[in-house]
A = this chain, B = another copy of it.
Amino acid sequence: MSDVRTRFDLQPDQIPTAWFNIMPDIVKAGMEPLPPLSPQTKEPIGPDDLAPLFPMSLIGQEVSTDEWVDVPGEVIDAYRAWRPSPLSRATRLEQSLQTPAHIYYKYEGGSPAGSHKPNTAVAQAYFNKEAGIRRIATETGAGQWGSAMALACQMFGLECDVYMVKASYDQKPYRRVFMETFGAGVVASPSDKTNSGRAIREAHPDSTGSLGIAISEAVEDAATHEDTNYALGSVLGHVLLHQTVIGLEAQQQMAMAGEQPDVVVGCVGGGSNYAGISYPFMAGKLRGETPDMRFLATEPAACPTLTKGRFAYDYGDTSRLGPIVPMYTLGHDFVPAPVHAGGLRYHGDSPSLSLLVKHGHMDAVAYTQNEIFEAGLLFAKTQGVLPAPEANHAVKGAIDEAIAAREAGEERVILFNLCGHGHFDMQAYDDYLAGSLPDFEFDAADEEAALANLPEVSIPV
């Protein structure tokens, strides 16, 4: 094996200095992005409608039609703490699968928060600081986004308050401590600090919370405090934009390896890590330069937004405070079963990613919990890196592609994003090893009920 190169490290001067915006290519390829709508009027919203939540610089990125957006120098300085991130070839995994495929993985678990989330967190903290904001309110499910935002606020001198889904707050105290270590305030959501939280607690005193509820609380907090803005860790255009540093680096590294991926694989919750690695490659496909390159989005069978959801206008949050957006959705009332991949338990998906799936440029597949932990364990045993449960979906997708290549007798090149490590998820691995991990099936009746609550809008999708 020693004659095969397995590491492709970039030099510090190869951190991308601009983010890549896929939207011009989406438009040029004939797909029509639909506008976000106001939750009150259900009419298209403009930049001003978002001003209570975000600084104008980020709103500008949200609607930008430029192909490239400069990364500010101070954000590059922050990136240096963990970027460029490594790209490796998983030769030991290839061997164990006896596949002729070449499996490459981009590893984002080396960041201070252990996932890709800081790529956008530091950018959001910077632009808010620049706009004179003093404090950020945000939410977190499993804790990865909250950890990243706590870290980013610390780096740029902002206060940070995190609404953490109560189920995670109780089950993952170490994620809470991690955020507190970086100076953030953390409360269990639903909390008594917001109207949204108090309303839920009154109606459901035993509520263990959900990402949709926590988003409502953070949005309300930001909207009702002059000095406070809101920060979201996925779904929105500017978040996906910031994550493209992953794919831009991966393009340079695949060039070092002298290969082009046949398929790019990633896991999808709101879509940010997968958009991050895939959009720079997707541009080539949309432009007809690499028409045969395939894209595979993987998701939990318990929350199969892309594979079983409906493409429709829906609210991003449970209390209907945020904009209505066109996306694949399971309904904003849908509460996914408590799979360990908490970062993938979201009822919707990024609008741009939804559009690419709808138009057939991207495939999607759903896996059960035991399938993905089996894949993750094989990866850990062969490559020595223990992935987060979310990332195990991408590992499973890559392994299935490698097995298909073996069966077809083809030397396919597979690239996937290993978006985070699993050091805070040992209970899940313990349960899997003990054989006590449940497989949740998606409940079609639940889906029907949740989808019955879609907003009535005048714009057709």
Closest B residue to A151 by beta carbon equals: B384
The reply on A110 being an interface residue by CB < 8 A is yes
The reply on A381 being an interface residue by CB < 8 A is yes
The reply on A183 being an interface residue by CB < 8 A is yes
The reply on A193 being an interface residue by CB < 8 A is no
A interface, over-half SS: helix
The reply on A251 being an interface residue by CB < 8 A is no
Closest B residue to A113 by beta carbon equals: B384
Closest B residue to A424 by beta carbon equals: B423
The reply on A433 being an interface residue by CB < 8 A is yes
The reply on A188 being an interface residue by CB < 8 A is no
B9, A11: Cβ atoms under 8 Å?
A: yes
- Which of A74, A384, A385, A424: most chain B Cβ within 10 A? A384
Asked whether A381 and B183 contact (CB < 8 A) given A2-B77, A76-B2, A430-B177, the answer is yes
A154, B381: Cβ atoms under 8 Å?
A: yes
The reply on A459 being an interface residue by CB < 8 A is no
Q: Which residues of B contact A182 (CB under 8 A)?
A: 380-381
Interfacial residues of chain A within 127-168, with CB under 8 A of chain B in the complex: 151, 154-155
Closest B residue to A12 by beta carbon equals: B7
The reply on A114 being an interface residue by CB < 8 A is yes
A178, B426: Cβ atoms under 8 Å?
A: yes
Q: Which 5 A-B pairs have the closest CB atoms?
A: A174-B426, A112-B384, A423-B423, A177-B430, A177-B426
The reply on A427 being an interface residue by CB < 8 A is yes
The reply on A429 being an interface residue by CB < 8 A is yes
Cross-chain contact of A6 among B74, B80, B92, B118 (Cβ < 8 A):
B80
Given A6-B80, A81-B384, A173-B426, 13 extra CB contacts under 8 A: A2-B76, A7-B80, A81-B88, A82-B384, A151-B384, A174-B426, A177-B429, A178-B423, A178-B426, A181-B381, A181-B386, A181-B429, A423-B423
Closest B residue to A174 by beta carbon equals: B426
Q: Which residues of B contact A430 (CB under 8 A)?
A: 173-174, 177, 180
The reply on A445 being an interface residue by CB < 8 A is no
The reply on A258 being an interface residue by CB < 8 A is no
Alpha-carbon distance between A380 and B81 when the two chains are bound, in angstroms: 12
The reply on A377 being an interface residue by CB < 8 A is yes
Q: Which residues of B contact A429 (CB under 8 A)?
A: 177-178, 181
Q: Which residues of B contact A6 (CB under 8 A)?
A: 77, 80
Alpha-carbon distance between A414 and B93 when the two chains are bound, in angstroms: 40
Q: Which residues of B contact A383 (CB under 8 A)?
A: 81
Interface size, chain A (Cβ < 8 Å) = 46
User: What does the 1/0 interface line of A71-87 toward B look like (CB < 8 Å)?
Assistant: 00110110011100000
Interfacial residues of chain A within 305-326, with CB under 8 A of chain B in the complex: none
**A76 → chain B closest CB, angstroms:** 7
Alpha-carbon distance between A76 and B377 when the two chains are bound, in angstroms: 24
The reply on A5 being an interface residue by CB < 8 A is yes
A2, B74: Cβ atoms under 8 Å?
A: yes
The reply on A203 being an interface residue by CB < 8 A is no
Closest B residue to A76 by beta carbon equals: B2
Interface CB pairs A-B, < 8 A, 20: A2-B77, A5-B12, A6-B77, A6-B80, A9-B11, A81-B88, A81-B385, A92-B155, A110-B110, A114-B423, A151-B384, A173-B426, A173-B430, A177-B427, A177-B429, A177-B433, A180-B430, A181-B381, A182-B381, A423-B423
User: What does the 1/0 interface line of A3-20 toward B look like (CB < 8 Å)?
Assistant: 001110101100000000
Q: Which residues of B contact A112 (CB under 8 A)?
A: 384-386
Q: Which residues of B contact A1 (CB under 8 A)?
A: 77
Alpha-carbon distance between A12 and B9 when the two chains are bound, in angstroms: 8
Alpha-carbon distance between A427 and B178 when the two chains are bound, in angstroms: 10
- Which of A182, A380, A426: most chain B Cβ within 10 A? A426
A2, B178: Cβ atoms under 8 Å?
A: no
Alpha-carbon distance between A377 and B182 when the two chains are bound, in angstroms: 8
Alpha-carbon distance between A377 and B181 when the two chains are bound, in angstroms: 7
- Which of A118, A377, A423: most chain B Cβ within 10 A? A423
User: What does the 1/0 interface line of A425-457 toward B look like (CB < 8 Å)?
Assistant: 011011001000000000000000000000000
Closest B residue to A423 by beta carbon equals: B423
